[in-house]
Amino acid sequence: MFDDRSPIYQQIAEKIKKDILYGDLTADEQVMSTNQYASFYRINPATAAKAFQQLTDDGYLYKRRGIGMFVSPDAQERLRAGRREKFFSDVVRPMVAEARAVGIDLQEIIHHLKEQA
């Protein structure tokens, strides 16, 4: 489930953000508690807590005292905006570089994209 490339708390935060982005977690939906998360993934509760702390600090989740943590109403839109900005640098540019390296020309890619759309 978790790899050695980065701290687990960051991997948890990324996973929850992805769930929000893809709509698996929706606005005002309650997320698992720190302890549920810790026992499910067999990790130290402090590690799970750190992930949730970061998500609430960044405004993707909000706390309701004594009840739990919930997805912020604007979380999905904010994540989408952030990912849109990076789409060309993170997704398109490496794809173009790969296409050049293996000898696929740009027209072929455009043709392929139009067919898919």
Work out how close the CB of 97 gets to another protein at its nearest, in angstroms, rounded to a whole number. 13
16 touches another protein by CB under 8 A: no
Radius of gyration of the chain (CA): 18
CA dihedral 82→32→2→84, nearest 10 degrees, is -10
41 touches another protein by CB under 8 A: yes
Q: What is the DSSP letter of 30?
A: B
Start-end of H helices in 6-103: 8-21, 34-41, 45-57, 75-86, 93-102
5 touches another protein by CB under 8 A: yes
Work out how close the CB of 15 gets to another protein at its nearest, in angstroms, rounded to a whole number. 14
55 touches another protein by CB under 8 A: no
**What is the binding site for another protein (CB under 8 A)?**
2-9, 35, 38-39, 41-47, 50
